[in-house]
């Protein structure tokens, strides 16, 4: 027996009394399901998977990993799209699937306390009897979990008006690498001191594992109107997006579908999308009834002025839900075009949308890959979906190269490399495009204060020199820790 296998068996033996034999997974057929996330381009096999049921069990598991120098990766539903929950260096995956309870809902304070394994849409279901909902709604909301949303600072269609996950998280319980437990944030606004909660949200599991979250709930609007604007030209649809926002109208959601994806969505969902359109905008406004009629009129004027051939209004809630089923089911629907995909989430100024959309199509043609653009147009968050068949030799490398070109163009246009999916493995080395060496060094030092040994989700989020090879010897950070700096 090798030393590595002996160490693995010792870890299994140490974890079993904590969570029970049933919740320590180590057989090859069990580990197979934890090799990849929603993108499936990055794959690696963990040594062990543990499925704890409480903060105390998570802490005990991390203490065992800490003592053995074992890398730790937290995992929610595995719907991430940047390789953030892939155990690139093996080690221990901590699945939070059993920690799936809504612990409390306070309708007066408009807050809820939840475990990280709660599915996003289930939180809104729990809040619905009080006329409340959880506003961040990623397209994967029927499967993605609150813990994963917090880790990646996830967005969604309605974040145009209501803000991304960070705007709705009030407090969190964080288990650090050595098993100690820290609570950050709180229900009281504008607390003094450093904003540690702001550091934790979006940190992609590199600082610790979030085991409990207090979130802000949003009152359901009095009225909701949903429209489908149909265009024969992509540029006209893009211009309409900018015109609507420039006019001071902030829709609850402003989504765009371009080209071949429209027909794929319609074939799969029968949402009522016209298959001959070059582009469609899914526009939703909400608020007080007396305000919406004027907003609807002005939106119609802007769409018509920029070439919309038709503006359809959802006649009832059933039709509205069908329109949204098309948008939120778009990723799965595109499997009708090709079986595999590589999706990006670069951000650009809205005024640059036409240019970047044309560029994505040119890049896809050059790399001999199909591209479908289905994205959050209102905040310029592009989602070029590169479609291919992995059985074709060399296509994976072409897809990655195409995605890199698109993201670099987003940065050159004054945008960013991620609007909501996170950095993970996929984009860690692109971070240097938008941050300087001093910034990255500061990030590494901050990370090392929380996790000086670099065991929490290693090789993620920061460029390889900062997050993988050098994190264990980050200049300055470990000196600060040795002098007593600790969280």
As a CATH number, domain 102-219 is 3.30.465.10
Q: How far is CA 269 from CA 265, 266, 301, 339, 442, in A?
A: 6, 5, 29, 18, 47
First to last CA, the chain: 39
Report the C-alpha gap between 50 and 47 in whole angstroms. 10
CB 394 within 8 A of CB 328: no
Domain ranges within the chain, ordered by starting residue: 3-95, 102-219, 223-412, 435-482
Report the candidate in 88, 38, 30, 33 with the shortest Cα–Cα distance to residue 456: 88
Pair of tokens at residue 484: 């007593």
For residue 41, the model assigns a pLDDT of 82
DSSP type of residue 340:
E
For residue 323, the model assigns a pLDDT of 96
* Residue for token pair 């009629």: 293
CB 60 within 8 A of CB 179: yes
Report the candidate in 49, 44, 45, 43 with the shortest Cα–Cα distance to residue 11: 49
Q: Taking the CA atoms of 406, 407, 411 and 415 in sequence, report the sign of the dihedral they define.
A: positive
Q: Along the chain (487 residues), what's the average pLDDT of each consecutive run of 10 residues? A: 94 98 97 91 94 98 98 97 95 98 98 98 98 96 97 96 97 98 91 93 98 98 97 96 96 95 94 96 96 96 98 96 94 93 94 95 97 95 95 94 97 96 95 96 96 96 65 38 44
* Residue for token pair 């993201």: 407
Does the pTM surpass 0.75? The reply is yes
Secondary element (H or E) of residue 309: strand 308-313
Pair of tokens at residue 273: 């999308």
CATH 3.40.462.10 matches 223-412: yes
For residue 468, the model assigns a pLDDT of 56
- For the chain, the farthest-separated pair of C-alpha atoms sits apart, in whole angstroms, at 74
For residue 487, the model assigns a pLDDT of 40
What are the b/e assignments for 64-97, b being 16+ CB within 10 Å?
A: bbbeeebbbbbbbbbbbbbbbbbbbbbbbbbbbb
CATH 2.40.50.100 matches 3-95: no
Pair of tokens at residue 233: 């030209």
For residue 465, the model assigns a pLDDT of 61
For residue 476, the model assigns a pLDDT of 39
DSSP string, 70-128: --EEEESSS--SSSTT--TT-SEEEE-TT---EEEEETTTTEEEE-TTSBHHHHHHHHG
For residue 189, the model assigns a pLDDT of 78
CA 204 distance to own-chain centroid: 10
Pair of tokens at residue 224: 């909701």
CB 49 within 8 A of CB 95: yes
CB 447 within 8 A of CB 467: yes
Q: Do domains 3-95 and 102-219 have the same CATH topology?
A: no
Long-range Cβ pairs for the range 394-397 (8 Å, 24+) = 395/369, 396/41
Side-chain half-sphere CA neighbours of 342 within 13 A: 25
Report the C-alpha gap between 84 and 36 in whole angstroms. 9
């Amino acid at each position: 027996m090798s030393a590595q296998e002996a160490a693995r068996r010792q870890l299994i033996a140490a974890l079993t009394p904590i969570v029970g034999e049933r919740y320590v997974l180590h057989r090859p057929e069990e580990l197979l399901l934890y090799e990849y996330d929603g993108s499936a381009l990055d794959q690696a096999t963990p040594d062990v998977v543990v499925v704890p049921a409480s903060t105390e069990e998570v802490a005990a598991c991390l203490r065992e990993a800490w003592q053995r120098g074992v890398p730790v990766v937290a995992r929610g539903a595995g719907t991430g799209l940047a390789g953030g929950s892939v155990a690139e260096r093996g080690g221990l995956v901590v699945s939070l699937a059993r920690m799936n309870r809504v612990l409390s809902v306070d309708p007066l304070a408009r807050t809820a306390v939840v475990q990280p394994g709660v599915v996003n849409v289930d939180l809104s279901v729990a809040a619905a009897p009080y006329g409340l909902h959880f506003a961040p709604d990623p397209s994967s909301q029927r499967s993605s979990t609150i813990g994963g949303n917090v880790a990646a600072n996830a967005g969604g269609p309605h974040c145009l008006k209501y803000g991304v996950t960070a705007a709705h998280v009030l407090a969190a319980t964080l288990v650090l690498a050595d098993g100690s437990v820290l609570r950050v944030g709180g229900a009281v606004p504008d607390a003094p001191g450093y904003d540690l909660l702001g550091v934790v949200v979006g940190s992609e599991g590199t600082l610790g594992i979030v085991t409990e979250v207090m979130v802000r709930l949003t009152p359901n609007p009095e009225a909701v109107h949903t429209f489908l604007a149909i265009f024969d030209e992509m540029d006209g649809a893009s211009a309409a997006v900018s015109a609507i926002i420039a006019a001071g109208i902030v829709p609850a959601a402003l989504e765009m579908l371009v080209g071949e994806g429209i027909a794929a969505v319609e074939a799969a969902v029968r949402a009522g999308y016209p298959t001959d359109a070059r582009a469609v905008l899914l526009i939703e406004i909400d608020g007080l009834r007396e305000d919406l009629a004027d907003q609807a009129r002005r939106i119609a004027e802007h769409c018509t002025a920029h070439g919309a051939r038709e503006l359809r209004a959802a006649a009832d809630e059933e039709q509205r839900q069908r329109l949204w089923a098309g948008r939120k089911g778009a990723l799965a629907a595109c499997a009708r075009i090709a079986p595999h995909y590589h999706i990006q989430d670069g951000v650009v100024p809205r005024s640059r949308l036409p240019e970047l959309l044309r560029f994505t199509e040119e890049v896809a043609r050059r790399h001999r890959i199909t591209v479908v653009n289905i994205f959050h147009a209102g905040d310029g968050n592009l989602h070029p979906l590169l479609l291919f068949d992995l059985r074709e030799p060399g296509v994976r490398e072409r897809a990655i190269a195409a995605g890199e070109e698109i993201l670099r163009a987003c940065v050159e246009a004054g945008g960013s490399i991620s609007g909501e999916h996170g950095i993970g493995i996929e984009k860690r080395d692109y971070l240097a495009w938008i941050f300087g060496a001093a910034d990255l060094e500061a990030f590494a030092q901050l990370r090392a204060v929380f996790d000086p040994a670099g065991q929490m989700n290693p090789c993620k989020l920061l460029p390889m020199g900062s997050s993988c090879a050098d994190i264990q010897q980050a200049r300055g950070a470990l000196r600060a820790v040795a002098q007593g700096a600790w969280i």
